[in-house]
Amino acid sequence: MKKRRTSDQQEAEKALVGAMAAEMIDTDMAIGLGTGSTVRHFAQALGQRIRTGLRVRVICTSRQSEMLAKQNDIPTTDFDRVPSLDLCVDGADEVSLDFDMIKGGGGALLYEKIVAAASSRRIYLADSTKLVGKLGQFPLPVEICRFGHQNVLSHLGRLARQCALRRRDGDAVITDAGNYIVDCQFGEIDQPASLHRRLCDIPGIVETGLFCDMIDMLITIKEDRPVVLTSPSEAFWAP
Ligand code: 5RP
């Protein structure tokens, strides 16, 4: 069960995990910079280290993360100049006891997955509210092509308990890659990898927010302190 936290406590936890991740960065690393409010804390702490001499370059996973880099004096690069990354640092919407994740609450799941796949190591940051037994309380974001989206929506509608095109101020949200996002309720997800494959078989589905077998290091909070976990066998939270 998710731990109850006030939003101030949750923000404090995000700051702790973000600061710890920034301490793990070595000079001259090429890093993937994730998206979201937890990554914002990482970017702030990384910016402080850069101002005192650390040299790094980042590839951003969204326009929002480009802004974060700019605000914190973090030099950016791209895949033309840096074909692979030493590591990526990103947040999560849910992390299960098996170390699978739901991501995409911020709508950047496609670029986040591309950047994660191009990284030798992947660090994910999760405050204690993100830790779950099984995935599925957080609606699964699925990125779909705009062309023919009506058919994909009805297909998803048959598979999921509920699904809805993500909207902001009444308009459908368009991702940085020019696609739509559908938020899907599947209930408890027993087999995330097979659900991911099943969804990706549907023409028009570009990517899902299921990130399976991608965590090399999880920085989270245990008894109010940041901790580093590297394997599901170290997961300490209750189902
Ligand atoms: C964006 C993401 C974020 O990493 C995820 O939504 C977590 O966000 P936050 O750190 O704001 O809780 O996947 O697409």
> For the segment 156-176, what is each residue's pLDDT rounded down to a tens digit?
999 999 999 999 999 999 999
Residues 14-38: tens digit of each pLDDT: 999 999 999 999 999 999 999 999 9
Q: Summarize the confidence of residues 175-187 as an average pLDDT.
A: 98
Q: Does 1 have pLDDT greater than 60?
A: no
- The pLDDT, as a whole number, for residue 5 is 83
Token digits for 112? 């986040």
Residue 4 scores a pLDDT above 90 = no
Question: Is residue 66 among the annotated active site residues?
Answer: no
Q: How confident is the model at residue 3 (pLDDT cuts 50, 70, 90)?
A: low
Q: Ligand 1: does its nearest atom lie under 6 Å from the Cβ of 32?
A: no
Average pLDDT over residues 126-132: 98
How far apart CA 64 and CA 109 sit, in angstroms, is: 13
Pocket test for ligand 1, best of 33, 100, 103 (most atoms within 8 A of CB): 103
Give the pLDDT mean for 143-162: 98
pLDDT on residue 2 = 55
Rounded to the nearest integer, the mean pLDDT of the chain is 97
Average pLDDT over residues 109-138: 98
* Average pLDDT of the residues in 44-60: 98
176 alpha carbon – ligand 1 mean position (Å): 15
The number of beta carbons lying within 10 Å of the beta carbon of residue 157 is: 14
pLDDT at site 122: 98
> Which percentage of the chain shows pLDDT scores above 70?
99
Going across the sheet that includes 85-91, the strands are 56-60, 29-33, 85-91, 119-125, 217-222, 225-229
Closest CA to 140 of 168, 159, 121: 159
Q: Is the CB of 103 under 6 A from ligand 1?
A: yes
Mean pLDDT across the stretch 50-78? 98
Residue 39 has pLDDT above 90, yes or no: yes
Indicate the angle between helix axes 37-51 and 63-71, nearest 10 degrees.
Answer: 30
Nearest Cα residue to 95 out of 217, 225, 207, 224: 217
Cβ atoms of residues 219 and 20 within 8 Å: yes
Least confident of 2-6, 67-71, 117-121, 213-217: 2-6
Q: Report which ligand 1 atom has the smallest distance to the Cα of 107.
A: 14
